[in-house]
Amino acid sequence: MRHRLVNLAWIFYEKFSLIGLSIGSFMVFALLLGPEQFGLGVLAVTLVEAIGIIYCSIIEDPLVRRTKCSKSLYASVFCFGGLLALGSATMLVAGSLLFGASELFIGLVALAGVKLVATVLSRPFVADLRRKRNFKSLANRTLAGKLIGTTAGILAAFWGAGAWAVVLQAVMMETVSLILLLYWHHDLVSSKADIHRFGLIFRAGLPLGVKMFSRGMLVRAITLVLGMVSDATTVGYFAFANRLVDLPRLALSDGLLSYALPAIAKRANQGPDVGRFVSSISLSTTTLLAPLFLGTMVLGGDLIHLLFDAKWQSAIPPFQYLCLLAALRCLVLYVPATLIALGKARWGMEADLLLLLGALLITWLYGSEWGAMAAVAAMALQLSGDLLIKLYQLHKLFSPRWQPVLRDYGFVALAAVLMMASIELLRVPQFLPLPEVLMAIATGAAVYFLGLFTLRPGWARGLINSIKQG
């Protein structure tokens, strides 16, 4: 129990430290850059991140799942994965030239390509640390990279670098993280590389990479299509709202998944125990995370009004709806990791791609009329289908008894509704000042936990059991 708590503490030390640094740099960028410059920088970074997500899924998760990993295997992934990333970054620059992008955007993409290469080169080290559950080293390298990257980005923004500041921050973060990993664990990739070993890992992870293509490309592709049918300012509003939600959501979910995937994989051959464990941690996660996003949804206008200036007020409605979608994503957070652990990563590949195409179609048809809300509607469509697919996959894998599951989630939902109602009662038509926002947050939290203890008296014990089982 103590060992698990220490692991969780290091994971969330990393993630919440990253949140603090990301929020700091995000606020500086939002205040110093306009929607157009901010959107341009985010677009360049997310373009390479879409490829990076795919490669990381293909390379890292199969390494974590393997029973044994040799240094030759790590070296093979390091060398040939790095070459693949370098080739992909070069192709992105060439593609930007062919499509007639501006010189500024081409330069931004070229710089962002360094981040892609560094990200892929880091995967063998990260996989090894995850296998050993050395979350302390993971936290330290990420935090050091983020600290240096954030400092560089903020200084560049103050010096008037515009969109370059956004890209520079991302590149510096990943490059510093890679340098630290090489300094600490360079012997891990010192063996002779073998392309056949790399091919073995690549083939094993390819189905997951295809699935992550649809998910990783969702926001990126929607942003690109929105820019094609509207203008840069609209893209800036959507990128602002989405980043404001995704900073905490990804930090929390990535931390939980880093801990959960090895724990689920450990139970892969234990039959029904896997289903019970996934059900337990899913309920605990939803109980703690969903109300954070739902409360933020109610106070979204007040928070943006307090933290940012008037030029971002048009981002309030997209931000509020994206908070609702983030809360719903908590319900099936661990399904992809469960499919990986059970060797079912191919499940749902075609459906994921169809949902992506449907989301892009919505953006294309209504982006010029609805603006940023068209992108939100597209993400809502994708999430609706994704929830149905994942629930079906859970049913097919474990055949759970849905009545107690629905009852437990119903109690959580009712407590969350009471929380939102209590916050709304404290609000007035105008934006709340900071003291009243803090009072609304405290009141909502008190109402939520009081509702939980009344409706589900054993929820705290269930959370502790979930940690013990990990």
Q: What is the pLDDT of residues 185-210, one digit of tens each?
A: 777 777 777 777 777 777 777 766 66
What's the pLDDT at 33? 81
pLDDT at residue 63 greater than cutoff 80: no
Asked whether residue 180 carries a pLDDT value surpassing 70, the answer given is yes
- Which range is least confidently modeled, 27-41, 45-59, 266-280, 355-369? 266-280
CA 140 – CA 129 distance, rounded (Å): 12
Give me the residue label for tokens 């900073």: 247
339-384: pLDDT as tens digits: 777 777 667 677 888 888 999 999 999 998 898 999 999 999 999 9
In terms of average pLDDT, the best of 73-82, 146-155, 457-466 is 146-155
Mean pLDDT, the chain, integer? 80
Q: CB within 8 A of 161, min separation 6: which ones?
A: 168
When pLDDT is cut at 50, 70 and 90, the band that residue 223 belongs to is confident
Question: Rounded mean pLDDT of 9-28?
Answer: 63
Residues 246-271, mean pLDDT to the nearest whole number: 70
Average pLDDT over residues 129-147: 72
Taking the model in full, what pTM does it have? 0.74
pLDDT at 297: 92
> Does residue 174 surpass a pLDDT of 70?
yes
Helix residue ranges per DSSP H, 159-231: 163-185, 195-229
Q: What is the pLDDT of residues 390-404, one digit of tens each?
A: 888 888 877 778 888
- Work out the average pLDDT over 311-322: 90
Report the pLDDT value the prediction gives residue 135, as an integer from 0 to 100.
63
* pLDDT greater than 60 at residue 4: no
Is the Cα dihedral 62, 68, 74, 77 positive or negative? negative
**What pLDDT, in 10s, does the model give residues 85-136?**
899 899 999 988 887 777 888 899 999 999 999 988 888 777 777 766 666 6
Higher pLDDT, 335 or 328: 328
- Six token digits for residue 21: 């640094």
- Average pLDDT of 294-321? 86
Name residue, tokens 């929820």.
459
Cα 342 from Cα 335, distance rounded (Å): 11
* pLDDT > 70 fraction of the chain, expressed in percent and rounded: 80
Both tokens assigned to 65? 């799942």
The rounded distance, in Å, linking the Cα atoms of 211 and 54 is: 8
Segment 285-291 shows an average pLDDT of: 88
Q: How does pLDDT run across 70-89, given as a tens digit for each residue? A: 667 777 778 888 888 899 89
Q: Strand (E) positions, 230-320?
A: none
